[in-house]
Amino acid sequence: IKILAIESSCDETAAAVVVNGRDLRSNVISSQIDLHTLYGGVVPEIASRKHIEKINQVIEQALKEADMTLDDIDAIGVTYGPGLIGALLVGVAEAKALAYARNLPLVPVHHIEGHISANYIENPDLEPPFLCLVVSGGHTHLVRVLDYGKYEILGRTRDDAAGEAFDKVARAIGLGYPGGPKIEKVSHEGNPDAIAFPRAKVGDDVYDFSFSGLKSAVLNYLNGCRMKGIEIVQADVAASFQKAVTDVLVDHAMHAVEEYHADKFAIAGGVASNGVIRAAIEEACKARGVKFYRPSPILCTDNAAMIGAAAYYDFLAGKRAGMDLNAVANLKLGES
Ligand code: ATP
Ligand code: MG
Ligand code: FE
């Protein structure tokens, strides 16, 4: 089954061709980062307009790189939520038009299922059940992947997502947008033990996350320094913040590994491209004899390859959308 997948939920216009869910033939990503950097974050209206400008050429490029035409394609997969509504609508409308014109099945894909499914592409041996930590710009979920398309959410963030915390702290220490990669970069010059930021627990819930307290602690620290005239060492703040996030993620992840006797653990989402976080979770898995999976960094942040992987298993499960498919901005995992 050859799937042409389309992703436009945020600020990446992306298309990919994936064969049988795991064989990636092309993966084209047109990022709008430069455009939004000017404003310090994603401007939804600008994102939608840019998607419209780019989507056709991105799809053409994906087909070309896969050495295929629409005649070779068996199904269209598209992200229909969650995400920015105007941005999602561009991909959904495009996918519907292609499916209608070519009389192809249309498979609606949940963006977070896509992030999780990115792990299938480079790991032919990975099959459910496994545990997955989804850490992205809008989500922080600890998930039991029971089967393809079947998820149990063990824990989630009560406030900010991990990626959101990276972005907000980056802004506060003057690194700007996008925060995650910039914090990771400067953290290499900093001391992760320089500042003792809190490792937040959420009551006695072992799996839920909270990152707004950590963000506030960073802001308080910065204000304190300014008031007392203490020099702020950007790299130390970045490294110490990153370490606090890493510790909490590892702690929750390994708690679940032990409780569910997991033998496979995967990570997903933009924050999963962070080298320090990847290494820490990998090491914790190794110490427990758990096999660790992670997508290449380019498959962690938004892309259409992951949508093609998820679409394949949704396709096999018989999931189809009609011409009435609509984008759902706040689509929940497990509701799709
Ligand atoms: P969602 O997937 O929840 O809808 P999204 O699609 O906007 O949100 P992703 O593209 O998966 O999110 O990830 C983007 C997030 O990942 C941003 O918050 C960004 O700061 C973060 N991120 C990207 N690279 C890194 C990195 N190297 N270290 C930490 N965070 C990173
Ligand atoms: Mg993005
Ligand atoms: Fe995403």
Q: What is the pLDDT of residues 177-189, one digit of tens each?
A: 889 999 999 999 9
Cite the beta strand spans of the chain per DSSP E.
2-7, 12-19, 23-31, 75-81, 106-110, 130-135, 140-147, 150-156, 264-268, 291-293
> Amino acid letter at 291?
K
Q: Is 136 assigned a ligand-binding role in the annotation?
A: yes
Counting from 1 in the atom list of ligand 1, the atom nearest the Cα of 170 is 20
> Amino acid letter at 19?
V
Cβ of 10 less than 6 Å from ligand 1: yes
Q: Which of 57, 53, 44 is nearest to 87 (CA)?
A: 44
Q: Which of 164, 166, 188 to mutate to test the pocket of ligand 1 (most atoms within 8 A of CB)?
A: 166
Those residues whose C-beta lies under 8 Å from the C-beta of residue 192, and which sit 6 or more positions away, are 239, 240, 242, 243
What pLDDT does 203 receive? 74
Q: Which of 17, 50, 55, 15 is nearest to 33 (CA)?
A: 50
What pLDDT does 202 receive? 78
What pLDDT does 177 receive? 86
| Nearest Cα residue to atom 5 of ligand 1 | 137
What pLDDT does 288 receive? 98
What pLDDT does 38 receive? 86
What pLDDT does 335 receive? 62
For residue 138, the CA-to-ligand 3 centroid distance in Å is: 7
Collect the ranges in the chain with pLDDT lower than 50: 336
Cβ of 295 less than 6 Å from ligand 1: no
Counting from 1 in the atom list of ligand 1, the atom nearest the Cα of 112 is 2
Give the ligand at the shortest distance from the Cα of 84.
1
Q: Is 115 assigned a ligand-binding role in the annotation?
A: yes
**Residue 230 φ/ψ region, left for φ over 0, alpha for ψ in the -120 to 50 degree band, beta for the rest:** beta
**Residue 150 φ/ψ region, left for φ over 0, alpha for ψ in the -120 to 50 degree band, beta for the rest:** beta
What pLDDT does 37 receive? 87
What pLDDT does 70 receive? 98
Reported as a single tens digit per residue, the pLDDT across 83-142 is: 999 999 999 999 999 999 999 999 999 999 999 999 999 999 999 999 999 999 999 999
Q: Is 36 assigned a ligand-binding role in the annotation?
A: no
Q: Can you tell me the ipTM of this complex?
A: 0.99
| Nearest Cα residue to atom 29 of ligand 1 | 180
Cβ of 77 less than 6 Å from ligand 1: no
Q: What angle do CA 313, 288, 210 make, to 5 degrees?
A: 70
Those residues whose C-beta lies under 8 Å from the C-beta of residue 8, and which sit 6 or more positions away, are 14, 51, 55, 79, 83, 87, 88, 90, 91, 94
| Nearest Cα residue to atom 9 of ligand 1 | 270
pTM above 0.90, yes or no: yes
